[in-house]
Structure 1
Amino acid sequence: MEFVIPDMNCGGCAKAVANALKRLDPAALVDIDVAVKIARVSSALPEPRLIAAIEAAGFHPARQS
């Protein structure tokens, strides 16, 4: 899954997003590209739970088509 996170602006933001996702699913593979504001996540968990984790970290993700 890919999420666009417009308010992810720096490495600290990327780390916060990655940590939130890893707390929810320690087995998740998370790849973040701050330059284009995209988080790529491979997880067995459903998308709404991943979105909720990102939102709980203070960010506003949108599903990338």
Structure 2
Amino acid sequence: MELTIENMTCGGCAKSVTKAIQSVDPNARIETNPAARSVKVETTASTAALQQVLEEAGYPASAT
């Protein structure tokens, strides 16, 4: 799945996003791109679960 995260603007943000996603699925494959403000995730977790944990971390995400 691919998510757009408007306020992920740097490597530090990308680390926080990665950590939040891994809290839901520790085995997720995550590819962040702060320049494009997007993240690609291979996971067994639902989009809603990822969006919720990212919202809680301060990085609201929308599915693309």
The two structures have a TM-score, normalised by structure 1, of: 0.93
- 1:10 alignment counterpart: 10
CA distance in 2, matches of 1:29, 1:58: 21
Q: What displacement does 1:23 show?
A: 1.4
CA RMSD for the aligned pairs?
0.7
CA distance in 1, matches of 2:45, 2:4: 18
The two structures have a TM-score, normalised by structure 2, of: 0.94
The 4+ residue runs of structure 1 with deviation greater than 4 A are none
- 1:25 alignment counterpart: 25
Which sections of structure 1, spanning at least 5 residues, go unmatched?
none
How many residue pairs end up in the alignment?
Answer: 64
